[in-house]
Chains A and B, each alone.
Chain A
Amino acid sequence: MAGFFTSRLFFVSLALVIIAATLPLYVSGYVLGLLTVAFYFGVFAMAWDLLFGFAGEVNFGPTFLIGVGAYTAGILNAQFGWSVYLCIVLGALASVIAGLVLALPALRVRGPYFGLTTLVAVLMLQNFIVVFADLTGGEIGLTIPDVITINAGANYWIALGFMTISAAILYGLSQSPIGLVLQASGQDPVQAGALGFNIVKHKLAAFIVSAFFSGLSGALLVFYFGTASVGTVVDVAVGVNVIVSAVLGGRRTVLGAALGAIFLIVAGEFLRPTGELATFIVSAVALLVVLFFPGGFLGAALSREARS
């Protein structure tokens, strides 16, 4: 861990964060808005990477955790008029409870079976939102009266700060002894258990941490958008984007996941002139990366550095 503060990765990340922090001084509000969303997405992807890359849990439903956090915060604000910050905290807590619900099957079933359970969780949440339309706004979405701030620069700094802090905590956790035990239990649970590590406890912790950050980010995103809808925080397609981000950036790197998310969202915007082909091109690029650089962006960069 001490080596990290002198490593090249640390200086590059630090430089990137400093450059990113100065952006509001000279780029347009449009670019800032795009990056704000990208940063929240980056936290989704990092939280997912902690579960998949380290705990080895194939979570097809990152949007279950994100959606529960986002909708809890949104509903409490829109229907009960509670203050924004209280709603964000409660959203994150609701997401932690959702994470525990999701962790229950994970302790029983593995691999594709767990993957399907998570997918079903998303579909159930989606059905729930549509059925209880009075409370949730249904398919149209929920309009949220309050926002954190309407200043594009301030929103951008909040998102950047939030992503940086999350990245530091998640990365630190992944490199700590807890991260190593998680990695071991993800790869060979029987052997890790035989070495005397409490796998259940570590896995539960991973779910709680991942859910906390997903929910917090989801709640913040809702108060940035001023609306919560199935299409932005719950739909399976959103979850696919989160997974693709993490795999693109490099799984088991945490920081790479954030890079992947930013790339995905910025690339999608650049390709907007191609119209309906944009998604096709992004998927094709992602597939090529999966096939030829299975380590992802950061994985490829790190292994090159290690070799030289």
Chain B
Amino acid sequence: MRAFQILIDGFAISALYALGATGFTLIFGVSGVLNLSHGAIMVAAAVAAWAAASVLNVGTYAGALIGVGVALLTAFATYFAVVKPIQDSRRIPNEEKEIFVLTGTLLWGIMIQELIAYFFTNNAKTVLPIVEGVVEILGVRTPKNEIFTAIVCCLVIALLWLLVNRTRTGKAVLAASMNPRGVTLLGLELTNIYIVVWAIYGILAGIAGVLLGMFLGVSSYSVGPLTASAFSIVVLGGLGSVSGSLIAAFVVGYLETLTAYLVSPAYRTIPALLLLVFVMYIRPQGLLGRR
């Protein structure tokens, strides 16, 4: 009974983590950018969906779409206002661009977080779920919303896999992650690829944010923890490796759920952090990372 509950709850949380971390790792793989405003973009999507559905009464579907749209816009704003100027800057030495992107996106994330807190307060917001009610699976009362979350996450990840492996654009993205210079030599404009990747990232983060808002609820305080969990999942899986992130998301998701159910919800994050430190010591490149 309890085992099934852990199995089901853990799956939904892991799938959500996986979706959130996939976009994050994709951007790193292709353009070497670690986007520390990730959590802020997810929260912005959730809050936009909440505001559209609960304040403007546009309905849950339109609300969810607006949330994803806001995430897409925020992702583009992040790229054009923060990341691109730093990458193109001639005053910042190349070997220091990484830390500048980290600092810049961190500050940008704080700005988004503060704006959300200013206009929508710090209170936790739960987005109205698209599907309501509960069903019984294997004797566990499960909200339909939880099943919906898991299904959407898996579908979106499958779509992403198809996009990357089966379309021309996707193959260009994949090639850029392997060798940016090679792609340029083949006559593809690197900036266009980056724009595509940021668009994919924005949509993924938006969907993850809205689903999170329906499943657990968000507040402006979630920004930091969300960024940190995406960061640790991605490093655990191996920076830039999408399949590694997926595995890591499930490892972290189940570890947290197990701890929360069997030990105490207060210690929820500790085993995952210990595992992370342990993996960093024996395999610094992560589970599936390349060096």
State the A residues within 8 Å of B (CB): 52, 58, 105, 108-109, 111-113, 115-117, 119-120, 123-124, 127, 130-131, 187, 236-237, 240, 243-244, 247, 276-277, 279-280, 283-284, 286-287, 290-291, 294-295
Contacts and interface: CB of A to CB of B under 8 A. Distances in A.
Contacts of A295: 91
A290 B108 CA distance: 11
Given A131-B266, A276-B114, 8 more contacts: A105-B281, A109-B280, A115-B102, A123-B273, A280-B111, A283-B107, A283-B114, A291-B82
A276 B118 contact: yes
Contacts of B148: none
Contacts of B231: 116, 119
Nearest to B34: A112
**Category for how many chain B residues contact A:** 35 or more
A276 B284 CA distance: 40
Contacts of B98: 58, 111-112
A290 B280 contact: no
B239 interface: yes
A286 B280 contact: no
A137 B117 CA distance: 29
B95 interface: yes
Contacts of B110: 240, 279-280, 283
Contact of A58 (B99, B111, B235, B284): B99
B85 interface: yes
Contact of A105 (B102, B232, B280): B280
A116 B95 CA distance: 18
Contact of B107 (A111, A187, A286): A286
18 contacts: A52-B99, A108-B281, A109-B284, A112-B98, A123-B228, A127-B270, A243-B103, A247-B103, A276-B117, A279-B114, A280-B114, A284-B107, A286-B107, A287-B104, A287-B111, A294-B89, A294-B91, A294-B100
B158 to A, nearest CB: 28
Interface of B: 34, 82, 85-86, 89, 91-92, 95, 98-100, 102-104, 106-108, 110-111, 114-115, 117-118, 224, 228, 231-232, 235, 239, 266-267, 269-270, 273-274, 276-277, 280-281, 284-285
B103 A290 contact: yes
A10 B235 CA distance: 44
Contacts of B34: 112
Contacts, number: 102
A112 B235 contact: yes
A105 B278 CA distance: 11
B232 A120 contact: yes
B277 A277 contact: no
A280 B280 CA distance: 34
Contacts of B269: 123, 127
Contacts of A244: 103, 107
A113 B114 contact: no
A247 B269 CA distance: 31
A188 to B, nearest CB: 9
Given A120-B232, A127-B269, A294-B89, A240 B106 contact: yes
Contacts of B266: 130-131
